[in-house]
Amino acid sequence: MYKFIIKRLLMLIPVLLGISFILYSIMSLTPGDAATLMLGDSANEQAILKLREELGLNGGFFENYIRYIGNIILHGDFGISYRTRNPVFTEVLTRFHYTLRLAFTAILISTVFGVLFGIIAAVKQYSFTDNFITAVTLALTSMPDFWLGMMLIIIFAVTLKLLPISGATSWRHFILPGLTASANYMAYTIRQTRSSMLETIRMDYVRTARAKGVPEGKIVFGHTLKNALMPIVTLVGVNMGWQLGGTIIIEQIFGIPGLGSLLIMSIRLKDTPVIIASVMFVATLSSLINLGTDILYAFIDPRIKSLYQTKKKAVKTSG
Amino acid sequence: MKKSLSLLLALALAVSSLTACGGGSGSGSTTAAAAPAETKAAETQSATLPDIGKVETAAAGAEVAAEASGKGAAETSSKDSLIMGYTKEPDSISPGTDSKTNAQMVCQMCYDALVGKDPENQSVMVPGIASSWDFEDDGTTLVFHIRDDIKFHDGTPLTVEDVLFSLDYAVQQGLNAAGASILKSWEAGDDNTVVIHLEYAYKPILQILAMPGFSIISKAFYEKCEAEGTNFGQVENGTGAYILERWTQGDRIVLKAYDDWHRGTPAIKHVEIVTIPDETSGALMAENHEIDFFIGMNSADVDRMMQVDGLTILNVVSAGTHLAAMNLTREPFKDNLALREAVAYAMNRDEILEGGMNGYGKVTPGPVTPGYFGFVEDFEPYPYDPEKAKEKLAEAGYPDGLHIVFKTPSDSWYCNPSQVLCEQLRKVGFDVEIQIQERATYLQECQNNLDYDMCWYMTWGDFPDCDPPMWTKFHSSCIGQNMGNWGGLNDPEVDALLLKARTSIDDEERIACYKELAEMNKENCWYLFVFTSYNPICFDSHLKGVVPITSVLYNPAFFYWE
């Protein structure tokens, strides 16, 4: 298990190097100049050249890239933001906790309600309840999130005045964005849960348990759900990765100063250090989440756990 | 039953998928220009939107101010806080470092300059850090008498040394390059004065020195920041009406009033400037009274917001003039006056304004924002005449039409009017290929490389004088990398006229020069000016003291609650 974890962590290094190189190349090759975009259209050439010198933009591509990546590897220094002149890592971490709160809210809502309604749909297969839940999931996947967000704002914030429209200063500010971000994934979770549950609910041991008089609740939650968890856990892991990197539109609509907003602003102004640091940060987190999901499998499925234990025993006996 | 349900679900899916389609309303939209909106007569106090252009600023601004002061003579509210919403966030609030208007707005709230502006008339200069000033040597020397009773927010007194240091600092900032080129040298004079020598007499010099980029900073505080590695752009120690309390990146800036401000303690004690990236969300927050003041409204929201009780909407003529540029450095427009005239006759400015901006703007056939010094009031552009346009196109050597590439950035306030113009050109025989580009690409190709046939852009005047926008647009020294002469115009007669207008201190002479330049531009069809856009703002009707400002640099120090 430990070897597996270390191996996966070591694999991160070439992945992150590759990401940084690709992003740096894209930002260097696309038209536009960070200094011009920062100073505006009316700044003169001398001012632009002076700022380029300050930002270290005057060297060649490889010179700039090697200097940049060397600073990261040797000093842990991601540089300063061209836009704000703050240390890049500070910028990213400051924004990240907003994205984390939003992602956590969305994952909590989509997982809890997704699993719950998925179970209900599976248990009451082909009933009106099942069909209704299916219709709701179809609607949730069809709605664009920017439209859903605006509708929720109009209903709950403007008309009913129950929740605030924009901002991120309190937990109430994360309810509407969390609902918006969770909608699509809740639908996927419902469908996956329903599908997994239907597979396991038809197993012989479930029929046996019923025949022995085990209460239905224990059958569903104690036996069936446990065995249906694997694909659901996979989906939740993928969901987490998406939420951390994919809430740009929601952050814009609800005024949440998260990583998505930072990324958009940085792309517009060609703030390359921030772009690379943000993407590498999200990539690292996504990889760690995937690793965590893989480790979780061992705890959910005894067969996978025993696989590691069998290997360990084999190594011990052979040694 | 199942079949009916399936059909119902399919119908729901089809309808849901269509909700993604539709005209965009926010910034960055590249959908087709909206149909002209009808102006509704609302019944609230903002029923007829006052067309508050700079040309009427003295009048309209005075009208608004009169109403405010009349009612303000009654009791003022005990409410002393203000929440302002803005669609962008400043990157830096130190003088001359961030071109965004909200950054400059916060800068002017925290810092003072040598001179200030009358809050009710931005053309009138008032004492700032300097209590008075004198012009000497035919206007090439300025002597400022510095007040000795001003303190920075940390309690340290402001001295002549700080003023000199601030000028040293200001001229090094890229954004101040145009103003800095006019300042020759500066030194301490007698009796707490600062003497500034100019390269030449320049009438609007006080406007430049009043800009936030030339605000006075504390030398000691700046040096302390440098020594400690503190980001000077994210902290402040000015002498302005407000002290920076807290800045949560991406969220809000919180300020509190500086009780010892030399122009009087502000009535608004606490200000929060909230970043609201989405224009529609901002309008909804204003409607919900979650914010008291919103800058950056989308023109599509104005009609609806006019119906909301308790809100005042003002359409303020902006400092930006939209124009269509033709590339004068290469075929087909180079040396082909008839072709340029064909474009001029094909252009229907009112239709472009209606279709591209929902009518929220003011047709400006001449250069520069209405109301700016040098704006030619009675200027007649080419009339809209599509038949004449076709004749001119044939005369230019293209009786069967001409393929041209029209470039525009993807922002809706450029893209939408561009599309209307392109359609007008197609109707007279041009085969227009419109390229909607991301801003960085558009600047690289059109501004830096002059690689376009036609393009759309906007000029901006930082203060109410013709010189900066006219110089950057028409002078031959402003062609090329990051400069403003996008058409590539290179005419010695024009250069001489601009220099004469710039260096004269005679208002009549300056106005005559700009009038002559406007006529030359019309005769030669170098640039086709189209309209000046409005910057609609909305605020709580109980907030008084709000006077429309073209530069959008509002200062809550002059507001109060009724």
Q: What is the pLDDT of residues A144-181, one digit of tens each?
A: 988 999 999 999 998 999 999 998 888 999 999 999 99
Buried/exposed code over B210-230 (b: 16+ C-beta within 10 A; e: otherwise): bbbbbbbbbbbbbeebeeeee
At residue A232 the predicted structure's pLDDT band, cuts being 50, 70 and 90, is confident
Residue of B nearest to A43 (CA): B175
Six-digit token string for B141: 């020397």
Report whether B494 contacts B474 (CB < 8 A): yes
Six-digit token string for A28: 């260097």
- A33 domain residue, yes or no: no
- A40 domain residue, yes or no: no
Query: Which residues of chain B does A262 touch, with a Cβ-Cβ cutoff of 8 Å?
Result: 250
- A39 touches B: beta carbon within 8 Å: yes
Residue B247 pLDDT > 80, yes or no?
yes
CA A208 to chain centre: 40
Nearest to B323, CA basis, from B496, B190, B472:
B472
CA distance B96 to B174: 7
Region A51-55: mean pLDDT is 75
- A47 domain residue, yes or no: no
Q: Which amino acid is at A193?
A: T
Nearest to A24, CA basis, from A78, A87, A77:
A78
| Domain span at A178 | 88-318
pLDDT digits (tens, 9 = 90+) for B371-384: 788 887 777 788 99
CA quadruple B445, B451, B454, B456: dihedral, nearest 10: 20
Bigger pLDDT: B84 or B479?
A: B84
Question: So what's the pLDDT on residue A51?
Answer: 76
Residue A72 pLDDT > 80, yes or no?
yes
Residue B386 pLDDT > 90, yes or no?
yes
Helix (H) or strand (E) holding B539: strand B527-540
Tokens 């001409």, residue located: B402
Is the ipTM reported for this complex over the cut 0.85? no
CA distance B462 to B2: 67
Beta-strand relationship, B454-460 and B311-326: antiparallel
Instruction: Indicate the number of domains in chain A.
Output: 1
CA A2 to chain centre: 25
Helix (H) or strand (E) holding A91: helix A88-123
Please list the residues that pair with B465 across neighbouring strands: B373
Nearest to B311, CA basis, from B537, B539, B42:
B539
Which of A46, A265, A268 comes nearest B177 by C-beta? A46
Report whether B88 contacts B560 (CB < 8 A): no
Kindly report the nearest CA distance between residue A65 and chain B, in angstroms: 21
- A73 domain residue, yes or no: no
At residue A66 the predicted structure's pLDDT band, cuts being 50, 70 and 90, is confident
Q: State chain A's mean pLDDT as an integer.
A: 84
Question: So what's the pLDDT on residue B559?
Answer: 95
Helix (H) or strand (E) holding B71: helix B62-72
Residue B441: Cβ within 10 Å count: 16
Query: Which residues of chain A does B443 touch, with a Cβ-Cβ cutoff of 8 Å?
Result: 31-32, 36-37, 41
A142–B12 CB contact, under 8 Å: yes
- The DSSP code for A31 is S
At residue A242 the predicted structure's pLDDT band, cuts being 50, 70 and 90, is confident
Beta-strand relationship, B454-460 and B293-295: unpaired
Q: Give the Å distances, CA to CA, from B456 to A5, A32, B11, B326, B452.
A: 56, 18, 42, 9, 10
Q: Give the Å distances, CA to CA, from B2 to A76, A133, B8.
A: 61, 15, 10
Kindly report the nearest CA distance between residue B395 and chain A, in angstroms: 36
CA distance B250 to A131: 43
Which range is least confidently modeled, B103-112, B190-199, B454-463?
A: B454-463
Residue of A nearest to B283 (CA): A165
SS3 (DSSP) at B319: strand
- A83 domain residue, yes or no: no
Burial status of residue B473 (CB atoms within 10 A of its CB: 0-12, 13-18, 19 or more): buried
Tokens 């974890």, residue located: A5
Q: Which amino acid is at A245?
A: G
Kindly report the nearest CA distance between residue A236 and chain B, in angstroms: 25
Which of B282, B288, B438 comes nearest A158 by C-beta? B288
At residue B69 the predicted structure's pLDDT band, cuts being 50, 70 and 90, is very low
Residue B530 pLDDT > 70, yes or no?
yes
Phi, psi of B292 (to 5 degrees): -100, -20
Query: Which residues of chain A does B177 touch, with a Cβ-Cβ cutoff of 8 Å?
Result: 43-44, 46-47
- A24 domain residue, yes or no: no
Most confident of B24-33, B105-114, B314-323: B105-114
Report whether B449 contacts B372 (CB < 8 A): no
Phi, psi of B311 (to 5 degrees): -120, 140
Please report, for the domain that includes residue A144, its CATH number: 1.10.3720.10
Total residues found in chain A within this entry: 319
Asked whether the whole model's pTM tops 0.90, one would answer no
CA distance B516 to B511: 9
CA distance B413 to A312: 66
Query: Which residues of chain B does A131 touch, with a Cβ-Cβ cutoff of 8 Å?
Result: 5
CA distance B458 to B470: 12
Six-digit token string for B172: 């090094």
Six-digit token string for A97: 């906790």
Helix (H) or strand (E) holding A280: helix A272-300
- A232 domain residue, yes or no: yes
Nearest to A254, CA basis, from B435, B236, B264, B285:
B285
Report whether B362 contacts B315 (CB < 8 A): no
CA distance B450 to B325: 11
Residue B145 pLDDT > 80, yes or no?
yes
SS3 (DSSP) at B454: strand
- The DSSP code for B87 is S
CA distance A22 to A29: 11
Tell me the count of A-B CB pairs closer than 8 A. 164
Six-digit token string for B502: 């710039």
Report whether B254 contacts B247 (CB < 8 A): yes
Residue B366 pLDDT > 90, yes or no?
no
Report whether B181 contacts B199 (CB < 8 A): yes
Report whether B557 contacts B542 (CB < 8 A): no
B482–A158 CB contact, under 8 Å: no
pLDDT digits (tens, 9 = 90+) for A201-224: 888 888 888 888 888 888 888 778
Please list the residues that pair with B96 across neighbouring strands: none
Buried/exposed code over B46-71 (b: 16+ C-beta within 10 A; e: otherwise): beebbebbbbbbeebbeebbeebeee
- A7 domain residue, yes or no: no
B447–A41 CB contact, under 8 Å: yes
